[in-house]
Amino acid sequence: KVRMAHPLLLDDVAVDYPDVKFVMCHLGNPWFQDAAEVLYKNDNVYADISGLTLGDFTYEFERYLVQRVKDMILYMGDPGKQLMYGSDWPLVGMGPYVKFLDTLELSDEALECVRWRTAARLFRIPVPD
């Protein structure tokens, strides 16, 4: 049931279990604004930028998604804190998502966090100095 995928449901468990880290898949698509609220409110919730398209982004759809994600970032604040790269590979190649991240016009630091640092921190992957 689609309603069971709504990101607001994640808020309930994130509040009830503040010591547990949760990953919201697909940026909460299609409920981007509600997803932004859940991320803004809960430091223990992360989201991956994946599953937004099946194949390459069309120009129109990419413009639509870029604006939705930029609105999310404006609302929630620092994108490097809770957003992570994802592609849903092998369903979708990695290239379209790498390009999509570049169109978000993030700072170099935020882009590095989204690409790998946030996931490394969340999953406790050792990172050499």
Secondary structure (3-state) at 114:
helix
11-38 pLDDT, tens digit per residue, is 999 999 999 999 999 999 999 999 999 9
Does the pLDDT at position 89 exceed 90? no
Does residue 87 lie in a domain region?
Answer: yes
Contacts for 15-22 with beta carbons within 8 Å, 24 or more apart? 15/42, 17/44, 18/44, 19/44, 20/44, 21/45, 21/46, 21/122, 22/46
Domain count, the chain: 1
Q: Could you tell me if residue 128 is inside a domain?
A: no
Residue 129 lies in a domain: no
Question: What pTM was estimated for this model as a whole?
Answer: 0.92
- Terminal Cα-to-Cα distance of the chain (whole angstroms): 45
Nearest residue to 86 via CA among 34, 122, 38: 122
Q: What is the pLDDT of residue 94?
A: 84
